[in-house]
Amino acid sequence: MNNYIKKALYLFVFTASFAASAGSYEDFFRAVKGDDASTVRNLLQRGFDPNTPDPQMQTGLILALMEPSPKVAKVLLEAGQTNVEARNGKDESPLMMASLKGNQEAVNQLIARDADINKPGWTPLHYAATTGQVAIIKVLLEKSAFIDAQSPNGTTPLMMAAMYGSTEAVKLLLEEGADIAMKNEQGMTAAHFAQRGQRPDAIALLAAAARKQPAQAPRTDGKW
Protein backbone atom coordinates (compact mmCIF):
# COMPACT_ATOMS: atom_id res chain seq x y z
CA MET A 1 0.00 0.00 0.00
CA ASN A 2 2.80 2.36 0.92
CA ASN A 3 4.50 1.72 -2.43
CA TYR A 4 1.26 2.47 -4.22
CA ILE A 5 0.90 5.79 -2.38
CA LYS A 6 4.52 6.71 -3.20
CA LYS A 7 4.02 5.94 -6.89
CA ALA A 8 0.81 7.92 -6.97
CA LEU A 9 2.55 10.86 -5.29
CA TYR A 10 5.46 10.76 -7.78
CA LEU A 11 3.02 10.64 -10.68
CA PHE A 12 1.11 13.62 -9.29
CA VAL A 13 4.29 15.68 -8.87
CA PHE A 14 5.52 14.77 -12.37
CA THR A 15 2.17 15.64 -13.94
CA ALA A 16 1.97 18.94 -12.08
CA SER A 17 5.51 19.84 -13.06
CA PHE A 18 4.86 18.97 -16.71
CA ALA A 19 1.68 21.04 -16.74
CA ALA A 20 3.45 24.00 -15.15
CA SER A 21 6.28 23.75 -17.67
CA ALA A 22 3.87 23.58 -20.59
CA GLY A 23 1.99 26.57 -19.22
CA SER A 24 5.21 28.54 -18.82
CA TYR A 25 6.17 27.74 -22.41
CA GLU A 26 2.90 29.13 -23.76
CA ASP A 27 2.99 32.10 -21.41
CA PHE A 28 6.54 32.95 -22.43
CA PHE A 29 5.93 33.13 -26.16
CA ARG A 30 2.60 34.89 -25.68
CA ALA A 31 4.40 37.49 -23.57
CA VAL A 32 7.20 37.86 -26.12
CA LYS A 33 4.75 38.59 -28.93
CA GLY A 34 2.75 40.94 -26.71
CA ASP A 35 5.88 42.78 -25.48
CA ASP A 36 4.91 41.86 -21.91
CA ALA A 37 8.24 42.40 -20.18
CA SER A 38 6.87 41.82 -16.67
CA THR A 39 5.65 38.30 -17.47
CA VAL A 40 8.91 37.40 -19.20
CA ARG A 41 10.92 38.68 -16.25
CA ASN A 42 8.80 36.67 -13.80
CA LEU A 43 9.18 33.49 -15.86
CA LEU A 44 12.95 33.91 -15.97
CA GLN A 45 13.02 34.39 -12.20
CA ARG A 46 11.06 31.14 -11.83
CA GLY A 47 13.67 29.30 -13.90
CA PHE A 48 12.23 29.26 -17.41
CA ASP A 49 14.95 28.80 -20.04
CA PRO A 50 14.81 31.83 -22.39
CA ASN A 51 16.69 29.88 -25.06
CA THR A 52 13.81 27.46 -25.55
CA PRO A 53 12.71 27.56 -29.22
CA ASP A 54 9.10 27.74 -30.33
CA PRO A 55 7.62 25.18 -32.81
CA GLN A 56 9.07 27.22 -35.70
CA MET A 57 12.54 27.05 -34.07
CA GLN A 58 12.55 30.74 -33.17
CA THR A 59 14.05 31.79 -29.84
CA GLY A 60 12.38 34.38 -27.64
CA LEU A 61 15.09 36.96 -28.30
CA ILE A 62 14.92 36.61 -32.07
CA LEU A 63 11.12 36.82 -31.96
CA ALA A 64 11.29 39.92 -29.77
CA LEU A 65 13.62 41.58 -32.28
CA MET A 66 11.44 40.51 -35.21
CA GLU A 67 8.06 41.68 -33.85
CA PRO A 68 9.42 44.08 -32.58
CA SER A 69 8.88 43.76 -28.83
CA PRO A 70 11.50 46.21 -27.51
CA LYS A 71 10.70 45.89 -23.79
CA VAL A 72 10.97 42.10 -23.90
CA ALA A 73 14.12 42.30 -26.01
CA LYS A 74 15.68 44.52 -23.35
CA VAL A 75 14.81 42.07 -20.57
CA LEU A 76 16.23 39.13 -22.51
CA LEU A 77 19.39 40.98 -23.48
CA GLU A 78 20.02 41.89 -19.85
CA ALA A 79 19.37 38.34 -18.62
CA GLY A 80 22.61 36.42 -18.05
CA GLN A 81 20.97 33.12 -18.97
CA THR A 82 20.10 34.32 -22.48
CA ASN A 83 22.41 32.82 -25.08
CA VAL A 84 23.00 35.66 -27.54
CA GLU A 85 24.26 33.16 -30.10
CA ALA A 86 21.21 30.88 -30.03
CA ARG A 87 20.16 30.61 -33.69
CA ASN A 88 16.80 29.90 -35.26
CA GLY A 89 16.03 27.19 -37.80
CA LYS A 90 17.50 29.33 -40.63
CA ASP A 91 20.80 29.83 -38.78
CA GLU A 92 19.90 33.45 -38.10
CA SER A 93 21.37 34.98 -34.96
CA PRO A 94 19.94 37.76 -32.77
CA LEU A 95 22.64 40.13 -34.09
CA MET A 96 21.55 39.40 -37.65
CA MET A 97 17.94 40.16 -36.80
CA ALA A 98 18.80 43.35 -34.91
CA SER A 99 20.92 44.46 -37.88
CA LEU A 100 18.13 43.72 -40.35
CA LYS A 101 15.58 45.67 -38.29
CA GLY A 102 17.87 48.63 -37.66
CA ASN A 103 17.79 48.20 -33.89
CA GLN A 104 21.05 49.92 -33.04
CA GLU A 105 20.57 49.70 -29.27
CA ALA A 106 20.18 45.93 -29.49
CA VAL A 107 23.15 45.71 -31.86
CA ASN A 108 25.32 47.56 -29.34
CA GLN A 109 24.13 45.34 -26.48
CA LEU A 110 24.72 42.15 -28.46
CA ILE A 111 28.22 43.22 -29.47
CA ALA A 112 28.94 44.10 -25.83
CA ARG A 113 27.98 40.51 -25.00
CA ASP A 114 30.40 39.15 -27.63
CA ALA A 115 27.85 38.20 -30.26
CA ASP A 116 29.55 36.73 -33.33
CA ILE A 117 30.00 39.48 -35.91
CA ASN A 118 31.68 37.21 -38.45
CA LYS A 119 29.66 34.00 -38.20
CA PRO A 120 30.09 31.63 -41.16
CA GLY A 121 27.53 31.95 -43.95
CA TRP A 122 25.11 34.86 -43.93
CA THR A 123 26.36 37.52 -41.54
CA PRO A 124 24.97 40.53 -39.65
CA LEU A 125 26.63 42.77 -42.27
CA HIS A 126 24.66 41.05 -45.05
CA TYR A 127 21.46 41.72 -43.12
CA ALA A 128 22.28 45.35 -42.35
CA ALA A 129 23.17 45.95 -46.01
CA THR A 130 19.92 44.37 -47.20
CA THR A 131 17.80 47.02 -45.49
CA GLY A 132 20.30 49.86 -45.87
CA GLN A 133 21.10 50.30 -42.18
CA VAL A 134 24.04 52.69 -42.64
CA ALA A 135 24.67 53.41 -38.94
CA ILE A 136 24.75 49.69 -38.15
CA ILE A 137 26.98 48.93 -41.16
CA LYS A 138 29.44 51.48 -39.75
CA VAL A 139 29.36 49.88 -36.30
CA LEU A 140 29.89 46.39 -37.69
CA LEU A 141 32.80 47.51 -39.88
CA GLU A 142 34.35 49.32 -36.91
CA LYS A 143 34.16 46.00 -35.05
CA SER A 144 36.07 44.25 -37.86
CA ALA A 145 33.18 42.76 -39.81
CA PHE A 146 34.45 41.16 -43.04
CA ILE A 147 33.32 43.63 -45.70
CA ASP A 148 33.41 40.99 -48.46
CA ALA A 149 31.93 38.16 -46.39
CA GLN A 150 30.39 35.49 -48.62
CA SER A 151 27.12 33.72 -47.99
CA PRO A 152 26.82 29.99 -48.75
CA ASN A 153 26.20 30.89 -52.42
CA GLY A 154 28.94 33.52 -52.56
CA THR A 155 26.77 36.62 -52.17
CA THR A 156 28.46 39.62 -50.52
CA PRO A 157 27.00 42.49 -48.46
CA LEU A 158 27.63 44.86 -51.40
CA MET A 159 25.53 42.66 -53.66
CA MET A 160 22.66 42.73 -51.16
CA ALA A 161 22.93 46.50 -50.77
CA ALA A 162 23.01 46.95 -54.54
CA MET A 163 19.78 45.03 -55.05
CA TYR A 164 17.77 45.75 -51.90
CA GLY A 165 19.50 48.35 -49.71
CA SER A 166 19.81 52.12 -49.82
CA THR A 167 21.99 54.36 -51.97
CA GLU A 168 23.86 55.40 -48.83
CA ALA A 169 24.60 51.77 -47.93
CA VAL A 170 26.07 51.06 -51.37
CA LYS A 171 28.14 54.25 -51.20
CA LEU A 172 29.46 53.45 -47.72
CA LEU A 173 30.50 49.91 -48.63
CA LEU A 174 32.28 51.17 -51.73
CA GLU A 175 34.05 53.89 -49.74
CA GLU A 176 35.17 51.26 -47.23
CA GLY A 177 36.70 49.13 -49.97
CA ALA A 178 34.11 46.51 -50.88
CA ASP A 179 35.23 44.45 -53.88
CA ILE A 180 33.03 45.23 -56.90
CA ALA A 181 34.57 42.42 -59.00
CA MET A 182 33.55 39.51 -56.75
CA LYS A 183 31.07 37.03 -58.17
CA ASN A 184 28.65 34.64 -56.51
CA GLU A 185 28.09 31.04 -57.59
CA GLN A 186 25.86 32.21 -60.45
CA GLY A 187 28.65 34.46 -61.74
CA MET A 188 26.83 37.62 -60.70
CA THR A 189 28.65 40.74 -59.51
CA ALA A 190 27.21 43.60 -57.47
CA ALA A 191 26.48 45.39 -60.77
CA HIS A 192 24.36 42.44 -61.90
CA PHE A 193 22.45 42.57 -58.61
CA ALA A 194 21.82 46.29 -59.10
CA GLN A 195 20.53 45.67 -62.64
CA ARG A 196 18.26 42.85 -61.48
CA GLY A 197 16.92 45.06 -58.71
CA GLN A 198 16.34 47.91 -61.17
CA ARG A 199 18.50 50.24 -59.08
CA PRO A 200 19.85 53.04 -61.31
CA ASP A 201 21.41 54.73 -58.26
CA ALA A 202 23.43 51.63 -57.38
CA ILE A 203 24.32 51.01 -61.04
CA ALA A 204 25.74 54.53 -61.30
CA LEU A 205 27.76 54.21 -58.07
CA LEU A 206 29.21 50.86 -59.11
CA ALA A 207 30.06 52.14 -62.60
CA ALA A 208 31.82 55.16 -61.11
CA ALA A 209 33.78 52.89 -58.76
CA ALA A 210 34.81 50.68 -61.68
CA ARG A 211 36.08 53.70 -63.63
CA LYS A 212 38.29 54.68 -60.69
CA GLN A 213 40.07 51.33 -60.70
CA PRO A 214 43.46 51.32 -62.43
CA ALA A 215 43.47 49.84 -65.90
CA GLN A 216 44.95 46.36 -66.17
CA ALA A 217 48.46 46.46 -67.57
CA PRO A 218 49.09 44.38 -70.75
CA ARG A 219 51.08 41.18 -70.32
CA THR A 220 54.59 41.02 -71.76
CA ASP A 221 53.63 38.01 -73.89
CA GLY A 222 51.09 40.08 -75.79
CA LYS A 223 48.08 38.55 -73.98
CA TRP A 224 45.69 40.25 -71.55
Taking only the tens place, the pLDDT of each residue in 8-22 is: 333 333 333 333 455
Q: Are residues 144 and 73 in the same domain?
A: no
Residue 221 in any domain: the answer is no
Q: Are residues 122 and 81 in the same domain?
A: no
Q: Are residues 13 and 51 in the same domain?
A: yes
The angle that helices 104-112 and 70-78 make with each other, rounded to 10 degrees, is: 10
Q: Are residues 122 and 176 in the same domain?
A: yes
**CA angle centred on 208, ends 211 and 128, rounded to 5°:** 130
**Residue 21: which domain range?**
1-87
CATH number at residue 150: 1.25.40.20
Residue 216 burial by Cβ neighbours in a 10 Å radius (0-12, 13-18, 19+): exposed
Q: Are residues 79 and 123 in the same domain?
A: no
Q: Are residues 126 and 82 in the same domain?
A: no
Residue 106 in any domain: the answer is no
Q: Are residues 79 and 124 in the same domain?
A: no
> pLDDT tens, 161-210?
999 999 999 999 999 999 999 999 999 999 999 999 999 999 999 999 99
Residue 55 in any domain: the answer is yes
What is the pTM assigned to this prediction? 0.85
